[in-house]
Amino acid sequence: MAGLLPMDNGRLYWEDQFIPDRTRSRILFYIEDAIRPHAQLPVDLVMYFYASVFGRKRRIAESVIDRLQLRDFVRVRVSDLSKGTAKRFLIALGLLSTQPILMLDEPFDGLDLKQMLEIVPLLRELSSAGRTLVLSIHQLRDAERACDQFALLSNGKLVGQGTLSELETRAGCAPGSGLEEVFLRLV
């Protein structure tokens, strides 16, 4: 879906329009897990560069730096960031992007519980503002905290799709059972 590999099945549509592979980057910005873009540069320069690529003013980059608590790391090289700080940096880059779909791979990996609980409202804010977020999350409890809709995959196959309550009903689970129980019943 992110366009890193050719699709071997299906088609991608956005707002009822087919999106060819070559134009996917116009609507979708993908943040891969565990990458370190421009690793030898300091955080602030990379942030300002991405802001300029997306036509954002420097003050927007500054605001994102503050919102993701990166101020103490602006002069640190990206390669020297801890795993959790690097994850916040990657999410910050996603926030600077302007595509209507933001796809994040394992957005909470490396974050402690406090950091994750600070990021979830930020992601929900983005969604409420009209941006579509696609999060790839293996820890289903984390997915429950952050997402409204779910597509559950097992061995590359879709085993369930919908809201938590819809999935609980479909799986024959009691309300409030949770996504883990649903997944175990559907696979």
Contact (CB, 8 A) for 14 and 27: yes
pTM > 0.95: yes or no:
no
What residue ranges of the chain are covered by domains with CATH 3.40.50.300? 13-144
CA atoms within 13 A on the CB side of 41: 12
Here the tokens at position 156 are 């590359």
Q: Tell the CATH topology of 13-144.
A: Rossmann fold (3.40.50)
Q: How far apart are the first and last CA of the chain?
A: 23
- pLDDT confidence bin for 34, thresholds 50/70/90: confident
Average pLDDT, integer, range 153-176 = 96
Is the pLDDT at 9 greater than 90, yes or no? no
Q: In whole angstroms, what is the distance from residue 109 CA to residue 112 CA? A: 8
- pLDDT confidence bin for 102, thresholds 50/70/90: very high
